[in-house]
């Protein structure tokens, strides 16, 4: 999920000249406070290797009439070697390579625009999906880590009034592979040297993944968890990012937080609170009308108890809205 996602690039951004239209919502803008859980557009993107676990990949390759071990070769190229062109897959006979690539490694994200800020250390990318929808990801390189902020939905159904994405409504869920592909693209950018910064000798790899782009990932639960497994599975089955480097941000979908705690993935949870009292939070974060401040915080605490992982509380200060002293005191109690 994104908090107050900017609608314009930072002033220091350099960009390619073509303007990009925002994602086209497939429905009317939501009414104030209206929540949408079911994605209205049902069309699925093409199946991709990253939608499948290793045994499903083997079955998929065999169903195409090829030997099962080809699945592992494809996984190695995609997750471990970050191969960008089928020509580099020289251990796959040419006669079957094109078929396997077309069926299991279709292009899911087409780059539309990149914006660089912070002296080239931060790169925001706009991607077009197979159905023309647009999503964004942001890669940030620090001296000893590289963080990618990814999207999990086209639009968002949570309708937070301060958020541009929320005002567009929910167009559709991303597939696991569409989520994973944002991380793979970031890893390729780092490897190509497209991102400035980083201490000398620091590894050129994605170390942190945050679900803070477009969408509420816990409302797209199975695709998000599938993506997290692909991102954290050791290479070549997955990208091998430490689960401790993953942060799931949520506005507080209580049953999904409890379900996530039971997955056995030691990732960080970030609860976007933004108000400590139900009256204001019902306005600022409409999901609060479903699960209150106390219920959301209790779920976050249960997450900590089950996983032992740190939980962070996010609170965006809005002048005159949620920045009163008494609310700070209430937040601290
Ligand atoms: S939950 Fe959705 S509407 Fe709310 S801030 Fe995040 S992306 Fe925006």
pLDDT of residue 125: 98
**Is any atom of ligand 1 closer than 6 Å to the C-beta of 168?**
no
Q: Which tens digits make up the pLDDT trace of 247-257?
A: 999 999 999 99
Interval 172-191 mean pLDDT: 97
Task: Calculate what percentage of the chain has a pLDDT beyond 90.
Answer: 85
Interval 35-44 mean pLDDT: 82
Which residues on adjacent β-strands are paired with residue 208? Answer: 147
**Is any atom of ligand 1 closer than 6 Å to the C-beta of 1?**
yes
Residue 108 pLDDT > 70? yes
Q: Residue with the nearest Cα to atom 4 of ligand 1?
A: 160
Class of domain 49-104: mainly alpha
Residue 319 pLDDT > 90? yes
Residue 52 pLDDT > 70? yes
Q: Report which ligand 1 atom has the smallest distance to the Cα of 285.
A: 4
**Domain boundaries of the chain, sorted by first residue:** 29-38+108-332, 49-104
**Is any atom of ligand 1 closer than 6 Å to the C-beta of 216?**
yes
**Is any atom of ligand 1 closer than 6 Å to the C-beta of 220?**
no
Residue 85 pLDDT > 60? yes
Q: Report which ligand 1 atom has the smallest distance to the Cα of 3.
A: 5
pLDDT of residue 26: 52
Instruction: Report the predicted TM-score, pTM, of the whole model to 2 decimal places.
Output: 0.91
Dihedral of the alpha carbons of 55, 58, 59, 65, in degrees to the nearest 10 = 180
Ligand 1: which of 5, 161, 213, 216 to mutate, judged by most atoms within 8 Å of the beta carbon? 216
Q: How far is CA 95 from the centre of its chain?
A: 35
pLDDT band at residue 6 using 50, 70 and 90 as cut-offs: very low
The rounded mean pLDDT for the chain is: 91
b/e code 138-174 from CB counts within 10 Å (16+ = b): bbbbeeebbbbbbbbbbbbbbbbebbbbbbbbbbbbb
pLDDT band at residue 4 using 50, 70 and 90 as cut-offs: very low
β-bridge pairing 268-272 and 246-250: parallel
**Is any atom of ligand 1 closer than 6 Å to the C-beta of 166?**
yes
pLDDT band at residue 304 using 50, 70 and 90 as cut-offs: very high
**Is any atom of ligand 1 closer than 6 Å to the C-beta of 218?**
no
Residue 164 pLDDT > 70? yes
Q: Residue with the nearest Cα to atom 6 of ligand 1?
A: 1
Which residues on adjacent β-strands are paired with residue 116? Answer: 14, 123
Residue 14 pLDDT > 70? no
pLDDT of residue 3: 41
Residue 17 pLDDT > 80? no
More confident residue, 12 or 184: 184
pLDDT band at residue 200 using 50, 70 and 90 as cut-offs: confident
Residue 152 pLDDT > 70? yes
pLDDT of residue 42: 66
Sign of CA dihedral 191, 246, 116, 106: positive
Q: How far is CA 163 from the centre of its chain?
A: 17
pLDDT of residue 44: 86
Ligand 1: which of 163, 174, 211 to mutate, judged by most atoms within 8 Å of the beta carbon? 163
Interval 197-203 mean pLDDT: 82
pLDDT of residue 12: 33
CATH number, span 29-38+108-332: 3.20.20.70
**Is any atom of ligand 1 closer than 6 Å to the C-beta of 156?**
yes
């Amino acid at each position: 999920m994104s908090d107050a996602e900017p609608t314009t690039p930072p002033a220091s951004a350099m960009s390619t000249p073509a303007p990009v239209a925002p994602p086209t919502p497939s429905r009317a803008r939501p009414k104030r406070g209206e929540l949408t859980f079911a994605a209205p557009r049902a069309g699925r993107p093409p199946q991709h290797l990253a939608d499948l676990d290793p045994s499903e990949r083997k079955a998929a390759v065999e169903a195409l009439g090829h030997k099962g071990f080809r699945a592992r070769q494809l996984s190695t190229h995609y997750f471990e070697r970050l191969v960008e062109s089928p020509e580099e897959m020289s251990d796959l006979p040419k006669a079957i390579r094109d078929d396997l690539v077309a069926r299991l490694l279709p292009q899911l994200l087409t780059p539309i625009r990149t914006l660089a800020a912070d002296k080239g250390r931060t790169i925001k990318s706009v991607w077009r999906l197979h159905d023309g929808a647009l999503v964004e990801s942001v890669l940030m390189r620090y001296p000893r880590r590289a963080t990618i902020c990814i999207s999990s939905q086209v639009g968002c159904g949570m309708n937070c009034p301060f958020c541009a994405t929320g005002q567009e409504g929910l167009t559709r869920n991303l597939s696991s592979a569409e989520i994973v592909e944002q991380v793979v693209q970031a890893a390729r950018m780092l490897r190509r040297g497209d991102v400035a910064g980083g201490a000398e000798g620091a590894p050129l790899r994605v170390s942190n993944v945050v679900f803070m782009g477009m969408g509420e990932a816990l409302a797209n639960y199975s695709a998000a968890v599938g993506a997290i497994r692909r991102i954290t599975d050791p290479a070549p089955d997955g990208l091998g990012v430490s689960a401790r480097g993953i942060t799931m941000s949520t506005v507080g979908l209580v049953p999904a937080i409890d379900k996530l705690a039971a997955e056995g993935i030691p990732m960080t949870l970030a609860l976007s609170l933004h108000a400590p009292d139900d009256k204001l939070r019902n306005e600022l974060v409409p999901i609060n009308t479903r699960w209150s401040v106390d219920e959301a915080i209790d779920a976050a605490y249960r997450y900590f108890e089950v996983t032992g992982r740190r939980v962070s509380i996010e609170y965006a200060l809005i002048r005159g809205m949620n920045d009163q002293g008494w609310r700070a005191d209430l937040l601290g109690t």
